[in-house]
Amino acid sequence: MAIGERIKRIRTFRKMTQSQLGEAVGLSDVRIRQYELGNRTPKSDMIQQMADALDCSYRSIDEPTLYAAEDVMFTLFELDEHYNMPLYEVVDKKKKSEKHICIGFNYSLLDDFLSEWMKKKEELASGKITREEYFEWKIQWPHKDKNT
């Protein structure tokens, strides 16, 4: 998904107009529309301002480059250099005849993050949370400590 699509997706999720977002970041609705259509690309400082205005993480707007399988593999190779990631073949819990290759990380903090994500996905699958609540969780990640 392109950066403009991400901006529009989160803006409409927040029920904001292009004018409202533009006003919040000091731009016209025309400029916001240009971003959303992909005619212009916001600079990193503007991405941060939009993230603040949309109450989401910068990374939920910023455009990753991990859409091609080859790009994903090269990223995994790079991560392996840092984390020495073991690979595992596991049997699918729901479809016992299917096997998947899984990656381990020798990094407990990342394991904690992945565990948190897995719990949210389980809550979504079980109906405990809605797709909107799951999306909200993802665009707010990482979550600030509620006690501070």
**Whether residue 29 is found in the same domain as residue 56:** yes
In tens, the pLDDT along 91-146 reads 988 899 999 999 998 889 998 999 999 999 999 999 999 999 999 999 999 876 55
The residue assigned the tokens 């919040």 is 24
**Whether residue 119 is found in the same domain as residue 91:** no
Using CA atoms, how far apart are residues 24 and 44, in angstroms rounded to an integer? 16
Q: Are 38 and 70 in contact (CB under 8 A)?
A: no
Cα 137 to its chain centre, rounded Å, is: 10
The number of folded domains in the chain is 3
* CATH code of the domain containing 16: 1.10.260.40
Using CA atoms, how far apart are residues 75 and 105, in angstroms rounded to an integer? 14
**Whether residue 16 is found in the same domain as residue 50:** yes
Region 60-86 average pLDDT: 84
**Whether residue 124 is found in the same domain as residue 85:** no
Range of the domain at 75: 67-104
pLDDT range class, residue 147, cuts 50, 70, 90: very low
**Whether residue 141 is found in the same domain as residue 118:** yes
| pTM for the predicted model, two decimal places | 0.70
**Whether residue 52 is found in the same domain as residue 76:** no
Using CA atoms, how far apart are residues 31 and 77, in angstroms rounded to an integer? 38
**Whether residue 93 is found in the same domain as residue 122:** no
Residue scoring higher pLDDT (88 or 2) = 88
**Whether residue 87 is found in the same domain as residue 133:** no
The verdict on whether omega for the bond into residue 86 sits within 30 degrees of 0, i.e. cis, is no
**Whether residue 10 is found in the same domain as residue 48:** yes
pLDDT range class, residue 1, cuts 50, 70, 90: confident
**Whether residue 98 is found in the same domain as residue 141:** no
Residue 144 pLDDT: 63
Residue scoring higher pLDDT (14 or 65) = 14
Token couple for 47: 């991405």
